[in-house]
Amino acid sequence: SPDPAPSPAPAPGTSLNTTGNPYADATLYQDPDYAAKVKQSLGRVPVGSADAQLIQVAGGFRTAVWMDRLAAIDGAKATGGALGLADHLDAAIAQQKAAANGGALKPMAVTVVVYDLPDRDCAALASNGELSSANNGMAIYKTQYIDRIAEIVARPAYAGLRIVTVIEPDSYPNMLTNLSKPACAEVDRKKVYVEGIQYTLAKLSTVPNVHMYLDIAHSGWLGWNDNRAKAVAGFKALVAGATPSGRLDVIRGFATNTANYTPLDEPYFNGTDDVVKTGGTTQFYEWNRAVDELTYIDLLHAEFVAAGFPRSLSFIVDTSRNGWGGPKRPTGPQADVDDMRIDRRLHRGNWCNVKDTGIGERPRANPDPSRAHLDAYVFIKPPGDSDGTSDATQTSPNEEGKRFDGMCGTMTGDALSGAPHAGQWFHDQFVMLLRNASPALK
């Protein structure tokens, strides 16, 4: 009998959103490189200790894979180094087969963070990155980074995977709110982030099994009414301008709280979270009504839909480090807002290796039946990876563009000391996160 006709190639700008929640009913990819880092930490605690037990559990965490520089695409597996993108996708296929145990394959979701924009992270220093727009960075980003990622994910061998991309954490939100900083004003004027992200959306939208979420910071950043309005208008223009069709459903939705510590919910605030405007200490929330991530995504969903996005627009939330368990967690409502918030930071803007934090809700799809616009909790920031060095002498960028940012030093009162460069393993932070997990690890 004749071969079945091959399915037609998708037109550029094909809607990917209509394929639904990529995490639904899917097994999550387990990154062997992450498991190896965890194992290293196991060797640093007493055998049989409570910490050792926690670390054993963490060995099973399903975390995202960060393409945080050109060299991450190839990796260095052959010489005993990190897996490259194709290695990860091969490993995902192997895990998918192993899970099927000879039976039918179940969907497998691999979360990949696309993170190498020129002039990356314009308002901070810890993760500036390797590409500079003044130095041909845009052309390099397009041809040596995005085109290469697109070529790999489009290989027929990977057509059976659900490849979820979290696109460019921090940069575009930084531009929206930090135009007073020269570096951000410059990327705005030169449209560096807009051009880079639009290229990425257009390119990856041609691969039907790639699902895209744009990073949209967190409630303690873009949560204020005026910032949300800016974000909705800015992201709409960004997405609409990405493909000739102007379709807004080219993305599945947005990722919030990436690499941040903001809780899903402040459990002791009243149902409407409107304690912010009443008595008590309001300083921590600075009259920002979006006091937690669930409030934030509810507001954003309604506002994006009102702005013309499809109702199916959905969110994922990074819960890798927003659990806030541990001894400082309040156990019930208090007279003062400041005493009952589980977010114990001194300021919501503190983002670097924050003290007293813990692992949050474990990754899973459709975690909240009352929120159809919440696709999944995901561990986007691998817990244990540093946010930036605490060494104030590291002022010039290393080869990855990493250097000291004051937010990682003693200035905020919230950052752990002894931290290595962003992305490197920080054992002490890792153990703290496990101890303070909420829900507790078991």
**What's the CA angle centered on 386, arms 384 and 388, to 5 degrees?**
170
Does position 223 bind ligand BGC by CB under 6 A?
Answer: no
Of the residues 119, 318, 387, 405, which is catalytic? 387
Q: How many helices (H) and strands (E) does the chain have?
A: 14, 9
Would you give the DSSP letter of residue 342?
S
Closest to 38 in 3D by CA, of 363, 429, 438: 429
Report the residue from 381, 405, 429, 431 that binds ligand BGC according to the rule CB under 6 A. Answer: 381
Binding of ligand BGC by 66 (CB under 6 A):
yes
| Candidates 304-312, 331-339, 345-353, 379-387; binding stretch for ligand BGC (CB under 6 A) | 379-387
Q: Is 382 in the site for ligand BGC (CB under 6 A)?
A: yes
Residues 252-311 that bind ligand BGC (CB under 6 A): 259
Q: Is 127 or 205 the residue whose CB approaches ligand BGC more closely? A: 127
| Alpha carbon distance 295, 274 (integer Å) | 11
Taking the least distance from each CB to ligand BGC, the nearer of 175 and 419 is 419
User: Taken in order 190, 191, 197, 200, is the CA torsion positive or negative?
Assistant: negative
Strands 162-167 and 108-114: parallel
**127 binding ligand BGC? (CB under 6 A):** yes
Binding status of residue 385 toward ligand BGC by CB under 6 A: yes
Annotation says 387 is catalytic? yes
68 binds ligand BGC (CB under 6 A): yes
How far apart (Å, rounded) are the C-alpha atoms in residues 21 and 368? Answer: 13
3-state secondary structure of 70: helix
Nearer to ligand BGC, 62 or 301 (CB): 62
Residue 40, both tokens: 């290293």
Query: Residue 7 has what DSSP assignment?
Result: P
Instruction: Give strand pairing partners of 376.
Output: 316, 365
Q: Strands (DSSP E) along 115-222, which ranges?
A: 162-167, 210-215
Q: Which of 343, 375, 387, 414 binds ligand BGC (CB under 6 A)?
A: 387
Q: Which of 297/380 has CB closer to ligand BGC?
A: 380
Contacting range for ligand BGC; rule: CB under 6 A; set: 242-250, 349-357, 360-368, 378-386: 378-386
Q: Which residue has the tokens 């041909």?
A: 136
The single residue of 33, 119, 170, 292 carrying the catalytic annotation is 170
Give the integer Cα–Cα distance in Å for 88 and 100.
18
User: At closest approach, how far in Å is the CB of 190 from ligand BGC?
Assistant: 22
Residue closer to ligand BGC, measured from CB, 202 or 217: 217
Task: State the Cα torsion 275-281-283-289 to the nearest 10°.
Answer: 0
Partners of 112 in beta bridges: 65, 165
Selected range binding ligand BGC among 131-139, 291-299, 368-376, 381-389, rule: CB under 6 A: 381-389
- Of 91-99, 281-289, 377-385, 425-433, the segment contacting ligand BGC by CB under 6 A is 377-385
- Indicate the SS3 state at residue 188: helix
422 counts as binding ligand BGC under rule CB under 6 A: yes
Q: How far is the CB of 412 from ligand BGC (least distance, A)?
A: 17
- Which positions lie near ligand BGC, rule CB under 6 A? 66, 68, 127, 259, 381-382, 385, 387, 422-423
Query: What are the catalytic residues?
Result: 170, 387
